[in-house]
Structure 1
Amino acid sequence: MRTVKAYAATKAKGEFEPFEFELGDIEPDEVDISVESCGICHSDLSMLDDEWGMAQYPLVPGHEVIGTVSAIGDHVTHLKVGDRVGLGWHAGYCMVCDQCMGGDHNLCASAQPTIAARHGGFADTVRAKAPSVVKIPDGLDPAEAGPLLCGGIAVFNPLVQFDVSPTANVAVIGIGGLGHLGLKFANAWGCHVTAFTSPSKQEEALAMGAHDTVNSRDPDAIKNASGRFDLVLSTVNVQMDWNAILATLKPRGRLQMPGAVNEPLGINVLPHMMFNQLSVGSSPVGAPVVIRRMLDFAARHNVTPVNEHFPMSKVNEAFEHLRSGKARYRIVLDRD
């Protein structure tokens, strides 16, 4: 038995307090990770507030985990004790469904979220099924890499899934925790990148990889971008005039929404969708093989999140900083 020291909330919107729990014997297909750092994702805040109705308390969030392997089960062959690894949104998959067998583990109906019905990475140790644990490649700073494991893969996965050309025109809506990584990845992919953002963030967007900007609060500016983009990545969780956004797409263009908008979109089929054969979709993070590819790509092209660091013992201050909207652009908790 291993005693884990963690930080947990005991109720929705509650504060985090020190919390201990016991891990049983490790299963043959499991890995224990000694946590070095863990990013805070907006999904952690949504779980803390039980916005999705799936939180269980005491809740130990944290699904952007960086650490070293401290124990492995007897059947684990691709990892060894001491390897530096990462763990993202999923801590396990069924490994036998059509989706898993086809390489789309992130679409597995039985996938196990790292922070739902199990304890996550705001702790000194986190346990996961071995297929969901990926090595951190050389050349990628592990102290900064955590947010790639959820925020990064959320915006990288569409580039792979939809075979986006390096000559494509890509727009990113919302330059925050997800959006700034969307700019960086699309730029490194070779695309011409446009940031839809407020005037106050336009200079930052250009510095992070955008080639030009559109004022997302100006309907005329959006209208002037008509027919420009092959792909629009929306990373916001608020309503916009989605029909106006669809009008910025080229024929056969796609509006992809890694940002979670909870309200109906109010999209009209006519005229833009039907006459230009447009698509609207969303996607959940990525399969382990795509996460590995993303980490290798990030190491090769020096794609790193813009992070603010807090000691893990200051987790309540870090969440208040996130809740206030002041984070620039991701928050990482360093184990202390």
Structure 2
Amino acid sequence: MKIQGLAAKTSGAELEPYSYEAPSPQNFQCIIKVLSCGICHSDLHMVDNDWEMSNYPIIPGHEVIGEVIEIGSQVNHIKVGDRVGIGWQRTSCLSCRDCLRGSENLCDEMQALIATGPGGFADYLEVDSRFAFAIPDGIKTNVAGPLLCGGITVYSALRYAGMGSGLEIGVIGVGGLGHLAVQFASKLGNRVTVFTTSKDKAEFAHELGANETVIVEKNQPPSAPSQPLNILLSTVPASIDWASYIDFLDSDGTLTLVGVPDAPLSIPGFPLLMKRRRILGSVIGGRAMMQEMLSVAERYQIEPIVEIFPMEKVNEAMEKVRNNQVRYRAVLSHQL
């Protein structure tokens, strides 16, 4: 079948119509009719080739929600008519040690959706059905996409840092990632402290469920929270006062990074040694973690806050994301 997409043909270019032929799905493949697709900053990085892994023409989009219209002969966990979502990961080897213990996202042969083929800024998408996830009935189509990237990123990071309930959890930054982290942490019964440079976002963090906010003044060290933190999640893509934040951790506390700092970390050793603290990095999540996250999101009514654009206004939407003018996630929809 011929698929109509929106592609950047050179680095940094605007997206324009582009079509390609997709074969009939074989074995574990399936074809979905795209209903909506979130826009992530990673889409911009890929369009701009910031990570030197882009292949042009590139069709972005890795927060895809769609309806299954055709399946391969080996597909038995989803069926035609199901509503499914596809995130950053296209596939993995499914046989290495990481894959066999449920960490497919850590597989050395992991393929990213838009780095190894077309993404979801299109009318249809062919994917490996084993990385297409049934979307629970209680999650709306136009808000589901960002959960498949931003949602799983923060949820997996918090869970692997030890998040349960009854803990003191800090979140640095209230953006596309942070506003979801606050919801997951608070609705699962934890006390949440938010660190932000914005008074408006501090007020909004309380609406999301934060118990305490710390406004960090420019070029000033952050003030300490009222309680030592068991987990501190950094969602910001910048270098910050790591030494101060390490000191905010309780004994056996964990600093977890999902935002990529713009310079190597500078961390003093003694505060880690003397309180047995640790630093953890995390990226998306495996298939079991994805399903758990979607279940939690439905049960506790956790939703990304989105601004919805019709698919034909993709360049306008991308520019707003590029200029940080969207609070908090942008979504392209075929349903407008």
What is the TM-score when the length of structure 1 is the normalising length? 0.96
Corresponding residue of 1:302: 301
Instruction: State the Cα distance separating 1:218 from its structure 2 match.
Output: 6.0
Preserved contact between residue 131 and residue 287 of structure 2 (Cα < 8 Å): yes
Corresponding residue of 1:202: 202
| CA deviations over 1:219-250 (Å, ceiling 9, x no partner) | 77724338611101100101111111111111
Preserved contact between residue 92 and residue 130 of structure 1 (Cα < 8 Å): no
Instruction: State the Cα distance separating 1:144 from its structure 2 match.
Output: 1.1
Taking the aligned partners of 2:101 and 2:238, their CA distance within structure 1 comes to 33
Taking the aligned partners of 2:3 and 2:262, their CA distance within structure 1 comes to 35
Q: Secondary structure at the match of 2:222?
A: helix
Taking the aligned partners of 1:261 and 1:175, their CA distance within structure 2 comes to 16
Unaligned runs of 5+ in 1: none
| Structure 1 letter corresponding to 2:196 | T
Preserved contact between residue 137 and residue 295 of structure 1 (Cα < 8 Å): yes
Taking the aligned partners of 1:45 and 1:214, their CA distance within structure 2 comes to 30
Instruction: State the Cα distance separating 1:280 from its structure 2 match.
Output: 0.9
Q: Percent identity?
A: 40
Q: Secondary structure at the match of 2:16?
A: strand
Instruction: State the Cα distance separating 1:259 from its structure 2 match.
Output: 1.1
Instruction: State the Cα distance separating 1:138 from its structure 2 match.
Output: 1.6
Pair 1:246–1:226, CA change in 2 (3 A): farther
| CA deviations over 1:68-106 (Å, ceiling 9, x no partner) | 001111001101010000000101111111111111111
What is the TM-score when the length of structure 2 is the normalising length? 0.96
Instruction: State the Cα distance separating 1:276 from its structure 2 match.
Output: 1.1
Corresponding residue of 2:83: 84
| Structure 1 letter corresponding to 2:249 | L
Corresponding residue of 2:140: 141
Taking the aligned partners of 2:227 and 2:299, their CA distance within structure 1 comes to 32
Preserved contact between residue 227 and residue 247 of structure 1 (Cα < 8 Å): no
Corresponding residue of 1:324: 323
Taking the aligned partners of 1:241 and 1:279, their CA distance within structure 2 comes to 16
Pair 1:250–1:256, CA change in 2 (3 A): same
Map 1:253-332; keep pairs closer than 5 Å. 253-270=253-270, 272-332=271-331
Instruction: State the Cα distance separating 1:323 from its structure 2 match.
Output: 1.0
Map 1:73-152; keep pairs closer than 5 Å. 73-152=72-151
| Structure 2 letter corresponding to 1:60 | I
Map 1:164-179; keep pairs closer than 5 Å. 164-179=163-178
Preserved contact between residue 153 and residue 286 of structure 1 (Cα < 8 Å): yes
Instruction: State the Cα distance separating 1:269 from its structure 2 match.
Output: 1.2
Corresponding residue of 1:27: 26
Taking the aligned partners of 1:70 and 1:188, their CA distance within structure 2 comes to 35
Which stretch shows the higher mean deviation, 200-209 or 63-72?
200-209
| Structure 1 letter corresponding to 2:204 | E
Taking the aligned partners of 1:27 and 1:243, their CA distance within structure 2 comes to 52
Instruction: State the Cα distance separating 1:162 from its structure 2 match.
Output: 3.0
Preserved contact between residue 307 and residue 330 of structure 2 (Cα < 8 Å): yes
| CA deviations over 1:234-289 (Å, ceiling 9, x no partner) | 0010111111111111111111011122421111212x111111111211101111
Taking the aligned partners of 1:189 and 1:12, their CA distance within structure 2 comes to 42
Q: How many aligned positions are there? A: 334
Instruction: State the Cα distance separating 1:165 from its structure 2 match.
Output: 2.9
Unaligned runs of 5+ in 2: none
Taking the aligned partners of 2:245 and 2:162, their CA distance within structure 1 comes to 21
Preserved contact between residue 161 and residue 231 of structure 2 (Cα < 8 Å): no
Taking the aligned partners of 2:187 and 2:289, their CA distance within structure 1 comes to 16
Instruction: State the Cα distance separating 1:44 from its structure 2 match.
Output: 0.8
